């Protein structure tokens, strides 16, 4: 069954998560149900002279136990941390989708898993080895660990995906761009299945120094839409979806979680750091237009909501401009208040949150929102989630450079 414009319909049949508040979809959702914060003191490297000493890290995670059953990818155990996250989340998503491994029609499948930064943990270790420890060489797999497309390659190897396999990179919109590209490939008949999303692991001394220099990190915590917000908190993790052409999913008896009904992307073409209002508004409008639903049909919106002063206010104003009076009836939350800002992976994690909200008819909260900014005067579901009948959701990802993306998820087609 195609859309009125002839494009094939795209559904979600699997999802996977590795995050600071839970390292499976069920754990991630339970963390949101409990209004759990993944933010804590930085661990894993000497803080030295850092002024910001908090992050949303995934602690106590054993990649060997999580990936020990991998058979086709011979070097996943020696990969970078960001590739481990991607592999684990993809594994969960593929199992949920019920796909055979290796894939039955490998050239009719795509693997598009992005990363805003790639293997920065490996990068820093290699440079420390060379320039501080005075070692004569780096680990022989250093180059493969660093490359931003390595996560996609590892996942493609393990699941036998022989179609388009590569990474996207667009800062905080990386995962959502990957999801959109995979959707396009299915819509236009290039593939029938796409494993899509992003992974990120960048929390190290050098990255923290770089973000400190930009003056966008908070030393206290991440408080989206709050009067006390003073910056974001870096996170890490991966969010992966399995997308599938509707009739292909039906033919194999797959459980369809929802439809990826609309996708919009724009660029501000204005400023590398300061976001606009028009670009985000138009990305949301394009997603709604493609979904073929009015804004009044959206019950829940997962905001980009980074807790920086200008982002939260501008996103609020963009929502108001697009949705009009309905903006005040929308349930909106920034789940970054719980899992931190995982940069390129954010859109993947937040897509899962939207889909779970539809499945459970419950919307996650924005925690730490005790005193809202008067300029951010919409319903941000403060502190505690709530029961709500949810049929359509929207997820926003707005990146440095003014790179804007929005997704609309709708009910599974009959």
Rounded Cα gap, residues 202 and 196, in angstroms: 20
Residue with tokens 């309905």: 326
| Active-site residue identified among 154, 248, 341, 354 | 341
**Fold matches, 10-251 and 268-402:** yes
Q: For the chain, which residues make up each domain, given as ranges?
A: 10-251, 268-402
Residues 6+ apart with CB under 8 A from 282: 264, 266, 404
Say which of 172, 258, 354, 376 is annotated catalytic. 172
Burial level of 379, CB count in 10 A (0-12/13-18/19+)?
middle
Burial of 405 per CB tally in 10 Å (0-12, 13-18, 19+): buried
- Cα separation, 174 vs 169, in Å, equals 5
Cis peptide preceding 102, ω within 30 of 0: yes
Distance, in Å, from the CA atom of 173 to the CA atom of 159, rounded to the nearest integer, reads 25
DSSP at 245: E
Give the pLDDT of residue 273.
87
Strands, DSSP E only, in 248-312?
258-267, 298-302
pLDDT one-digit tens code per residue, 181-204: 999 999 999 999 999 999 999 999
Place of tokens 């985000």: 280
Pick the CATH number of 10-251 from 3.50.50.60, 3.40.50.920, 2.30.30.60, 3.40.47.10: 3.40.47.10
Residue 111 known to be catalytic: no
One DSSP character per residue, 125-156 reads HHHHHHHTS--S---TTHHHHH-TTHHHHHHH
Going by C-alpha positions, the residue among 263, 254, 283, 264 that lies closest to residue 413 is 254
> Is residue 376 among the annotated active site residues?
no
- At 160, list the tokens: 């036998």
The one catalytic residue among 154, 248, 304, 339: 304
What pLDDT sits at residue 2? 61
d(CA 6, CA 251): 20
In Å, how far from its chain's centre is CA 20?
13
pLDDT in tens, 110-137: 999 999 999 999 999 999 999 999 999 9
Residue closest to 15 by CA, chosen among 114, 72, 80, 98: 98
Of residues 62, 58, 365, the one with CA closest to residue 226: 365
Residue 172 designated active-site? yes
Give the integer Cα–Cα distance in Å for 193 and 410: 19
Residue 145: left if φ>0, alpha if ψ -120 to 50, beta else—which one? alpha
| pLDDT the model gives residue 274 | 85
Helix, strand, coil percent values for the chain (each to nearest 5): 35, 20, 40
Number of Cβ within a 10 Å radius of residue 363: 28
The pLDDT score that the predictor gives to residue 137 is 92
308, 400 contact by CB (below 8 A): no
**Site of tokens 């979809």:** 25
Unique residue bearing structure tokens 């996250």: 85
Domain 268-402: which CATH class?
alpha beta
Contact of 320 with 289, CB cutoff 8 Å: no
Tokens of 69: 């059953």
| Per-residue pLDDT tens digits of the chain, which is 414 residues long | 566 667 899 999 999 999 999 999 999 999 999 999 999 999 999 999 999 999 999 999 999 999 999 999 999 999 999 999 999 999 999 999 999 999 999 999 999 999 999 999 999 999 999 999 999 999 999 999 999 999 999 999 999 999 999 999 999 999 999 999 999 999 999 999 999 999 999 999 999 999 999 999 999 999 999 999 999 999 999 999 999 999 999 999 999 999 999 999 999 999 998 889 999 999 999 999 999 999 999 999 999 999 999 999 999 999 999 999 999 999 999 999 999 999 999 999 999 999 999 999 999 999 999 999 999 999 999 999 999 999 999 999 999 999 999 999 999 998
């Amino acid at each position: 069954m195609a859309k009125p414009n002839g494009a094939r319909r795209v559904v979600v049949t699997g999802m996977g998560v590795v995050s600071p508040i839970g390292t499976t979809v069920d754990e991630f959702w339970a963390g949101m149900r409990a209004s759990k914060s993944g933010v804590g003191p930085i661990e894993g490297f000497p803080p030295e002279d850092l002024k910001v000493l908090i992050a949303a890290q995934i602690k106590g995670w054993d990649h060997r136990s999580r990936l020990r059953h991998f058979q086709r990818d011979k070097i996943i155990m020696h990969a970078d941390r960001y590739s481990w996250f991607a592999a684990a989340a993809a594994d969960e998503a593929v199992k949920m989708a019920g796909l055979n491994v290796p894939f039955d029609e490998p050239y009719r499948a795509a693997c598009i898993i992005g990363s805003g930064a790639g293997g920065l943990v490996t990068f820093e270790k290699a440079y420390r080895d060379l320039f501080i420890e005075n070692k004569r060489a780096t680990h022989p797999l250093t180059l493969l660990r660093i490359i931003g497309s390595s996560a996609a390659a590892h996942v493609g190897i393990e699941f036998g995906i022989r179609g388009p396999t590569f990474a996207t990179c667009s800062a905080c919109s990386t995962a959502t761009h990957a999801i959109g590209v995979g959707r396009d490939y299915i819509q236009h008949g290039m593939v029938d299945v796409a494993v899509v999303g992003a992974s990120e692991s960048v929390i190290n001394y050098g990255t923290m120094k770089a973000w400190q220099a930009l003056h966008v990190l908070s030393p206290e915590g991440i408080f989206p839409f709050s009067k006390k917000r003073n910056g974001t908190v870096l996170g890490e993790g991966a969010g992966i979806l399995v997308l599938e052409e509707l009739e292909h999913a039906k033919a194999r008896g797959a459980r369809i979680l929802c439809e990826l009904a609309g996708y919009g992307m724009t660029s501000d073409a204005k400023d590398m750091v300061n976001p606009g209002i028009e670009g985000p508004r138009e990305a949301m409008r394009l997603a709604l237009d493609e979904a073929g639903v009015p804004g009044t049909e959206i019950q829940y919106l997962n905001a980009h909501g980074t807790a920086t002063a200008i982002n939260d206010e501008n996103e609020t104003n963009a929502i108001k401009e697009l949705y009009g009076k309905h903006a005040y009836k929308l349930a909106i939350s920034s789940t970054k208040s719980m899992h931190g800002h995982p940069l390129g992976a954010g859109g993947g994690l937040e897509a899962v949150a939207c889909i779970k909200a539809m499945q459970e008819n419950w919307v996650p909260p924005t925690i730490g929102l005790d005193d809202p900014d008067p300029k951010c005067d919409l319903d941000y579901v403060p502190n505690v989630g709530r029961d709500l009948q949810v049929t359509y959701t929207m997820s926003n990802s707005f990146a440095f450079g003014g790179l804007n993306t929005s997704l609309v998820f709708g009910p599974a087609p009959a």
